[in-house]
Amino acid sequence: MSAMIATMMSVSPGIPPRPAIQTSPSSTSVPMKTIPGDYGWPLIGAIGDRLDYFWFQGAAKFYQKRMEKHQSTVFRTNVPPSFPFFTGVNPNVVAVLDCKSFSYLFDMELVEKKNILVGDFMPSVDYTGGIRVCAYLDTDEDKHSKIKRFAMDILKRSSSIWVPTLSSKLDTMWDTIESSLSSSTSVSYLVPVQKFLFSFFCRSLAGADTSLSPDIDENGYIKLDLWLALQTLPTVPIGLFQPLEEIFLHSWAYPAFLVSNGYNQVADFIEKEGAEVIQRAQTEFGLSTKEAIHNLVFMIGFNAYGGFSLFIPYLLGALGNEENKGVQERLRKEVRENIGSGLSFESVKKMDLVQSFVYETMRLNPPVPTQYGRARKDFILSSYESSFEVKKGELLCGYQPLVMKDPNVFEEPDKFKADRFTGEKGRELLNYLFWSNGPQTGSPSESNKQCAGKDYVTLTGSLFLAYLFQRYDSIGCDGSSITTLKKAGS
Ligand code: HEM
């Protein structure tokens, strides 16, 4: 087990290989072109694009329409936020929307990742205790290496309690849902899922037991929800009432003090109950107390809790989708045949279909849909059809929901195929699964910006499914509620 985890989390230096997509011409054989598209009139161009993005088209259609208009997967456009109260933010980007051009974002010799987690706009550091946390640091910054190694060390050390903690938190979550369902025909699972995720990640990543603080146990997840929502608001479509959303929610950045009370309570809790992990960050990785606390809270609250709060509903949504009829039976069979003496990393690694189901969910619903990279120097970027000159300082913007439907790579790209990633051919496709800001076959390391939790995330998705089909024969669900739960053997 420890050997497996060590292999899984090994720090491999270097850059994940840029996928060599067989069906594409090589970058040297495709003709040079000027990047199509423009940024329009100053201010007005950016506002028009912002309204399309948030209101008239939505993000997916926004990129799709422009891709069709320019007959190119690489083009210039503006992305929000923009005018009037984002004066220091440059909305101009070069969109990269196929697997080949998107993969330039993983090449740390060509792109820089300083302060561009959500684009040229960066939420105030007041949201993160006054410091720039790991996700905003470039690989060139010394601190990035230290914190990334700290993150990977946390995961490695937590591996021994990961599965038992997950199982016990899932027991509580499903008991709650089951009991609500006994008196109702449909139960929203969002609150139970978020409570489960919050207490699971506090315990597994920081060693902090939420039951020691009644307020944190009951309301910690709400404090994180508010903190997450407010800092990302300028870049996230809400889908409420337009034009009110544009006027009040997308026109300026909200100050952190509105949520700092709740954030500080969570940070204080982690400082106290996660003292051992924080101590290690200082002694073994050379971080200050402040850096250790706020990076740990960011990993728990933003990376882990934020990512999984989207991922789990996507997973349940895919399970309950009518189009995937019959898949539950196949998943259940595979789980029960391979679970052996109980849930473990080893047992789910034998479950090919379960893992493929998780990968396919990630392909069609990447929880972090947009990635950015700023050109460190002038370079030539290629799509399948053309090569383009990118100038130093230009911001590349990849929108994964379209990239992951690249027809050069994925057959019937719009279709959810549960077994797409099984077998030899399926495993080859993992080179092109990019949800973690790198290929699923790549290794997160201090020299790249790939998600530190890459393997833990997909394995946890598989453990979640394996637990489910060990406990239930079938489940009726969608992206927000449960309608039926048929207990195993009942
Ligand atoms: C569904 C869950 C998750 C998703 C979708 C996700 C996705 C991502 C993505 C896309 C990035 C790169 C962002 C960018 O630079 O553009 C990232 C970075 C990161 N993730 Fe995750 N993540 C998840 C869970 C986790 C977990 C459980 C951890 C555990 C500690 C984690 C730790 C990190 C860290 C530390 C970084 C920064 C990497 C760096 O700066 O080099 N993530 N994640």
Instruction: Give me ligand 1 centre to Cα 134, in Å.
Output: 10
Closest Cα to atom 40 of ligand 1: 135
Closest Cα to atom 41 of ligand 1: 449
Highest mean pLDDT among 46-50, 339-343, 428-432: 428-432
Q: Are strands 379-382 and 387-390 parallel, antiparallel or unpaired?
A: antiparallel
Question: Scanning the structure block, which residue is given the tokens 């924080």?
Answer: 278
Residues 170 and 203 sit within 8 Å (Cβ to Cβ): no
- 139-165 pLDDT tens trace: 999 999 999 999 999 999 999 999 999
Instruction: Give me ligand 1 centre to Cα 303, in Å.
Output: 5
User: What's the whole-number average pLDDT of the chain?
Assistant: 93
Q: Give the per-residue pLDDT at 8.
A: 31
Query: For residue 86, what pLDDT band results from cuts at 50, 70 and 90?
Result: confident
CATH of the domain at 121: 1.10.630.10
Q: What is the largest CA-CA distance in the chain?
A: 65
Closest Cα to atom 36 of ligand 1: 451
Query: For residue 21, what pLDDT band results from cuts at 50, 70 and 90?
Result: very low
Instruction: Give me ligand 1 centre to Cα 307, in Å.
Output: 8
Provide the residue range defining the domain that includes 290: 2-487
User: From the CB of residue 284, how many other CB atoms can be counted at a distance below 10 Å?
Assistant: 12
Q: Give the per-residue pLDDT at 456.
A: 98
Taking residues 28-54, report their average pLDDT: 92
Instruction: Give me ligand 1 centre to Cα 435, in Å.
Output: 9
Question: Can you tell me which atom of ligand 1 is nearest the CA of 144?
Answer: 40
Q: Give the per-residue pLDDT at 26.
A: 45
- 379-412 pLDDT tens trace: 999 999 999 999 999 999 999 999 999 999 999 9
Residues 53 and 236 sit within 8 Å (Cβ to Cβ): no
Q: How far apart are CA 152 and CA 411, in angstroms?
A: 34
User: What's the one-letter identity of residue 489?
Assistant: G
pLDDT at 171 over 60: yes
Please give the residue that has the higher pLDDT: either 374 or 43: 374
Instruction: Give me ligand 1 centre to Cα 369, in Å.
Output: 12
Q: Tell me how far CA of residue 243 lies from CA of 44, 105, 333, in angstroms.
A: 17, 34, 49
Taking residues 461-471, report their average pLDDT: 98
Question: Scanning the structure block, which residue is given the tokens 């292999």?
Answer: 7
Global pTM reads 0.94
Query: For residue 288, what pLDDT band results from cuts at 50, 70 and 90?
Result: very high
Taking residues 128-140, report their average pLDDT: 98
Q: Ligand 1, residues 298, 451, 464: which to mutate, most atoms within 8 A of Cβ?
A: 451
For the ranges 12-26, 198-212, 374-388, the lowest mean pLDDT is seen at 12-26
Residues 302 and 138 sit within 8 Å (Cβ to Cβ): no
Q: Ligand 1, residues 165, 224, 303, 459: which to mutate, most atoms within 8 A of Cβ?
A: 303
Closest Cα to atom 37 of ligand 1: 135
Residue 306 structure tokens:
């934020």
Domain count, the chain: 1
Instruction: Give me ligand 1 centre to Cα 53, in Å.
Output: 25
Q: Which residues form the pocket of ligand 1, taking CB atoms under 6 Å from any ligand atom?
A: 113, 117, 134-135, 148, 151, 155, 299, 303-304, 307-308, 311, 367-368, 371, 435-437, 449, 451-453, 456-457
- 222-280 pLDDT tens trace: 999 999 999 999 999 887 788 999 888 999 999 999 999 999 999 999 999 999 999 99
- 363-388 pLDDT tens trace: 999 999 999 999 999 999 999 999 99
Taking residues 107-124, report their average pLDDT: 98
Name which of 388, 378, 401 is nearest 70 in CA terms.
Answer: 388
Question: Can you tell me which atom of ligand 1 is nearest the CA of 137?
Answer: 40
SS (H, E, C) the chain: CHHHHHHHCCCCCCCCCCCCCCCCCCCCCCCEECCCCCCCCCCHHHHHHHHHHHHHCCHHHHHHHHHHHHCCCEEEEECCCCCCCCCCCCCEEEEECCHHHHHHHHCCCCEECCCCCCCCCCCCHHHHCCCCCHHHCCCCCHHHHHHHHHHHHHHHHHHHHHHHHHHHHHHHHHHHHHHHHCCCCCEECHHHHHHHHHHHHHHHHHCCCHHHCHHHHHHHHHHHHHHHHHHHHHHCCCCCCCCHHHHHHCCCCCCCHHHHHHHHHHHHHHHHHCHHHHHHHHHHHCCCHHHHHHHHHHHHHHHHHHHHHHHHHHHHHHHHCHHHCCHHHHHHHHHHHHCCCCCCHHHHHCCHHHHHHHHHHHHHCCCCCEEEEEECCCEEEECCCCEEEECCCCEEEEEHHHHCCCCCCCCCCCCCCCCCCCHHHHHHHHHHCCCCCCCCCCCCCCCCCCCCCHHHHHHHHHHHHHHHHHHEEEEEECCCEEEEEEECCC
Question: Can you tell me which atom of ligand 1 is nearest the CA of 134?
Answer: 40
Residues 353 and 422 sit within 8 Å (Cβ to Cβ): yes
Q: Give the per-residue pLDDT at 183.
A: 93
Query: For residue 29, what pLDDT band results from cuts at 50, 70 and 90?
Result: confident
pLDDT at 81 over 50: yes
Q: How does 7-27 read in b/e, with b if 16+ C-beta sit within 10 Å?
A: ebbeeeeebbebbebeebbee
- How far, in whole angstroms, is CA 115 from its chain's centroid? 17
Q: How far apart are CA 84 and CA 46, in angstroms?
A: 10
Residues 434 and 99 sit within 8 Å (Cβ to Cβ): yes
Instruction: Give me ligand 1 centre to Cα 306, in Å.
Output: 10
Q: For 412-417, which contacts have Cβ atoms below 8 Å and span 24 or more sequence positions?
A: 416/318, 416/321, 416/323, 416/324, 416/360, 416/364, 417/360
Q: Give the per-residue pLDDT at 25.
A: 36
Q: Give the per-residue pLDDT at 489.
A: 82
Query: For residue 28, what pLDDT band results from cuts at 50, 70 and 90?
Result: low
User: What's the one-letter identity of residue 445?
Assistant: S
Please give the residue that has the higher pLDDT: either 446 or 43: 446
